Structure 1
Amino acid sequence: MSSRRDILKAGGLAALGVLAGACSTGSDKKNKKSSWSRGEIKALTKENSIKIGVIGTGSRGTGLIHTCNKIPDFQVTACCDTLPFRLENGVKAARTVKDKDGKETKTHEVQAFSDYKEFLAKANVDAVIIATPYSTHYEIAKASIAAGKHLYCEKTLVHGVAPALHLSQLAEENPNIIFQTGHQHHNSWVYKKVVKMLKDGVIGDISHFECQWNRDGDWRRSVPEPKSKYERFVNWRMYKEFSGGLAAELSSHQIDFVNWVLGSVPTRIMGTGGVDYWKDGRETFDNIHFLADYPGGKKATFSSLTTNKFDGVKIRIKGKQGTLLMNHHEAEFLLSDKKKNEVEEKGTFDGVTGASIKLWDPDRDTKNRHVINMNADATVDALIAYRDAIVKGKQPVSNVKTGADVAIAVRMALESMHHGRIVHLEEEIENAKKTV
């Protein structure tokens, strides 16, 4: 049995690789390479673009289709959804692009499927995007790997510890299959810059992260008639059968960021939450709060509300020599006098392409403030990274193992909040290995 010390010493990703290897996959252990191959993608031309298929054409999936339409060398050629009206929307989005004057033009035919297994067997695609409810990701991702398709799987990667370990192992056994997880901040230049600066010690030794993602609304979407037939499939985020709620849909991005900065994963998590405000039949919590312990005594808190959006999305990172305040588009560093002089001498904030960096003296906690802001769309950057990974044959930075790390932490948070107990990583790993 691996001790907690052994697991953590290896680090989050390495630990998953080692532990996943202990899980049976039902494959030939001697054959670590894929027994199937999609084949090499040739030099990209207008006639030889990467053919993309989208499984799950709800609001997120259709949004990803529109984004794909903007990316050179991508062409969405097939869509799949179990709901007819959403499948129709997806196909329409895939066929329709806008020219430079904003005029809509139909460009190509798009295959339509209502069953993902038939889609994977018949669709003329090189790669897939999985944008279905997260409880379905595991089976669809397994089938996509078996079909030899590259895949981009939306967050949260999977529901449960054992599926996370198993999927990591399958990806390791099939290195020719590009596997990207949809934590798009890995591809945001401002996040990459901030992570490097934090690792370089711009605010000193980090002790605490405070992460929040607040909204003001019931999170529901309109449901067509008959509502009794479509409610659970349209508002799947409300139901435990399909979703992990706020932790899986929102906090997961911030868990991914903390893991990235620290190069580690939570050792234990404790939390609370409830259906306390929206009494509308939902099952997933409308407010969540949990604390994660990381190696070295570092702590991270995560919260998400649906009744007050004050401060919206915010991350506060506290170090011995400064604090970082961060949202989707801006990173603000508040530094001690000593650290301010040090970073200016080193030119830490110099040469940040496309950034607006300011230093001013407001009547606030400190006079030493540096701001980096940006307006780029991280989802666009993420899908460009997916394209580049396919072309170069190199796994992306937001991959199956970073996604599995987050999925395990989300599972730990849900277990703690639902059952009122402290959840330990080592215990969850050992229990998962028994079920595989």
Structure 2
Amino acid sequence: MRIMGTEITRRQFLTATAAGAAGIALTSAGILAPQRVLGANDRLRVGLVGVGERMGTLMNEFHDLKDSHNCELVAVCDIWKPNREKAIKKVKDWYGTEPKVYANYEELLAAKDIDAVIIATADFHHATMLRKAILAGKHTYCEKPTANTLDDANALIKVAEANPNIIVQVGTQRRSEGNYYAAADFLKSGALGTVSRVNISWNYFGARWIRDCKSCNAEDVDWKQFTMGRDNRAFTPQLFREWRLFRPFSTGIPCQWLSHMIDAAHIVTGAKYPKSCVAMGGTYVWKDERQNGDTFEALFEYPEGFMLNYTTGFGNDSPGTEFRVSGTNGTLDCAGWKATGSGGDKKNKLSQDVQIKGADMPGHMQNWVECVRSGKQPTAPVQAGYQHAIALTMAVRALDTGRRQIFDPVTRTIKEA
């Protein structure tokens, strides 16, 4: 599920490149590129970093493409023995041979015979692992959030922008759903009038992210690798298995849920970064040992001229998921995929309902695999991941400080108002 190793600098990677040890080549412009250029008949060889619950789904999606897209899972890396062994068996059952097994993800990245990697580890691992995968010349599918601190986000985007030949797909899969683009086209048409407000609510009833900790033993976990040197607490099964509930491993709702929906809002509105943000939240229902609250609300102001309200609560699941865009001519419902004249100006409001229906699109994993072969950018490139990382980082800072946060996209800094 989650793997870390020692820090490797860019200089060390480039030194390895010169020796041919990391399987990397440099273009004439000094941009990293995969040493092995895939031909039409070459099999795409992929390694897995972090083989927990989420990776199980991603493995299945990738395996479904093995014949149609000539691809194969060849390596497994995880710091928890039970997950690692389950993944090894699954890959062997599928392909007839055992995958290579790595105890350290940086060793996997250095392997010449691996073309690409899929990363599905703890939230706070993503930015570092993805940055190093890019430096290793490995095309990458990386789960969201792309980052959960500003420093990590900025370090990642700097490397990604310097190496555009490395294909990165971020795991915000709504970017591979046609309805969001149809909704964006509808807004661009001007039919909804002037948009001033976006409301997103994603709710659930229950104590989210509780896991069975009884079967987790210290001897089966490389706790040092997991913590990345960012936490000094001793290993406990709860910290490891329920990491979404604890800082610095995750921020809970902002990392897990807001990242998805703020990204969807960016697709629909065409916006990239909030201008400012305030936030509140806490633990009001599930009073266990969690550090990340069960109720959260953030209010963002965008430079395009609208406000976005995001809220999640785990104490009541009504109304489930709600995503509404309010304009002077009506309301766009991006959960029910319909635009109506509701709430609009009596003279100019929409006179009839408009159904929002986008074109069918390849699945998120398929899109990534196809882009690895074609060299085109996928539907959720690292730049989109950076944008949702900025929004969630602003929200968490606002929550922690009680102060409004302002983002400067030129200097890539966040400061208090």
Corresponding letter in the other structure for 1:53: G
Is residue 294–residue 314 contact of structure 2 (8 Å, CA) maintained in 1? yes
Residue 213 of structure 2: aligned partner: 223
Corresponding letter in the other structure for 1:225: S
Q: How does 1:286-435 map to 2 (within 5 A)?
A: 286-327=294-335, 330-335=336-341, 368-372=352-356, 381-426=363-408, 429=411
Deviation at 1:396, TM superposition (A): 1.7
Q: Deviations over 1:161-220 (max 9, x none)?
A: 222222112112212211121111111112222222222223222111001111111111
Q: 1:284 aligns with which of 281, 285, 292?
A: 292
Residue 35 of structure 2: aligned partner: 38
Counterpart Cα distance in 1 of 2:375 and 2:359: 29
Counterpart Cα distance in 1 of 2:317 and 2:117: 34
Q: 1:165 aligns with which of 132, 150, 154?
A: 154
Q: How does 1:20-419 map to 2 (within 5 A)?
A: 33-35=30-32, 37-44=34-41, 48-71=42-65, 72-73=68-69, 74-97=71-94, 107-122=96-111, 124-219=113-208, 220-226=210-216, 229-260=236-267, 261-327=269-335, 330-335=336-341, 368-372=352-356, 381-419=363-401
Q: Secondary structure at the match of 1:425?
A: strand
Counterpart Cα distance in 1 of 2:257 and 2:31: 34
Corresponding letter in the other structure for 2:51: T
Percent identity, please.
27
- Using the size of structure 1 for normalisation, the TM-score is 0.77
- Using the size of structure 2 for normalisation, the TM-score is 0.80
Q: Secondary structure at the match of 2:408?
A: helix
Deviation at 1:295, TM superposition (A): 1.1
Tell me: CA distance 1:237–1:394, structure 2 relative to 1, closer, same or farther (3 Å): same
Is residue 153–residue 180 contact of structure 1 (8 Å, CA) maintained in 2? yes
Deviation at 1:234, TM superposition (A): 1.6
Counterpart Cα distance in 2 of 1:230 and 1:124: 35
Is residue 267–residue 292 contact of structure 1 (8 Å, CA) maintained in 2? yes
Tell me: CA distance 1:35–1:310, structure 2 relative to 1, closer, same or farther (3 Å): closer
Q: Which moved more, 1:230-239 or 1:284-293?
A: 230-239
Tell me: CA distance 1:232–1:370, structure 2 relative to 1, closer, same or farther (3 Å): same
Q: Deviations over 1:370-409 (max 9, x none)?
A: 3447998x8x711111011111111223111111111011
Q: Deviations over 1:137-162 (max 9, x none)?
A: 12211221122100111111012122
Counterpart Cα distance in 2 of 1:241 and 1:388: 35
Bigger helix fraction = 1
Tell me: CA distance 1:96–1:198, structure 2 relative to 1, closer, same or farther (3 Å): farther
Tell me: CA distance 1:374–1:172, structure 2 relative to 1, closer, same or farther (3 Å): closer
Unaligned runs of 5+ in 2: 1-8, 15-26, 218-234
